[in-house]
Amino acid sequence: MTFLPYAVVVVITVAGIYGVATSRNLVHMVICLSVLQSATLVLLLAMGYRTGAQAPIISTARGSRHAVDPVVQALTLTDVVVGATVVALLLALVVQAHKRSGTLDPDELRPFRG
């Protein structure tokens, strides 16, 4: 089952996009975007994995030849933080959109007046 993590990436990506496209509620849409983004986390971690390797916490100066890739893990960290802030920013936009138009349904949103 060496393809399983990649299959999970495909499933999460497609599920996220489907959710965003068919969403009838802006908060739901933001969460779907966050689901979509979590596919990149799985992809990054899956790419860096080596069978039987340990976590990149290495206690000797000699280093380790049996640790997973630390670079993709650092990138995952970046991904998580950016994802969380994007969700916060979008939810703030949703709050204002609801105040302006009184609805959270994207189909009923009118173009904003200035």
Q: How near is the Cβ of 37 to another protein at its closest, in Å?
A: 14
Q: Minimal CA–CA distance to 75: which of 51, 53, 42?
A: 42
Q: How near is the Cβ of 111 to another protein at its closest, in Å?
A: 16
| CA–CA separation, 20 and 28 (whole Å) | 8
Residue 73 and residue 56 in contact, taking contact as beta carbons nearer than 8 Å: yes
- Find the length of the chain: 114
71 binds another protein (CB under 8 A): yes
| CA–CA separation, 58 and 51 (whole Å) | 17
Q: How near is the Cβ of 96 to another protein at its closest, in Å?
A: 6
105 binds another protein (CB under 8 A): no
60 binds another protein (CB under 8 A): yes
Interaction with another protein in 23-52: which residues (CB under 8 A)? 43, 46-52
| CA–CA separation, 114 and 104 (whole Å) | 19
Query: Under the rule (CB under 8 A), what is the footprint of another protein?
Result: 2-6, 9-10, 13-14, 17-18, 21-22, 43, 46-53, 55-65, 67-74, 77-78, 80-82, 84-86, 88-89, 91-93, 95-96, 99
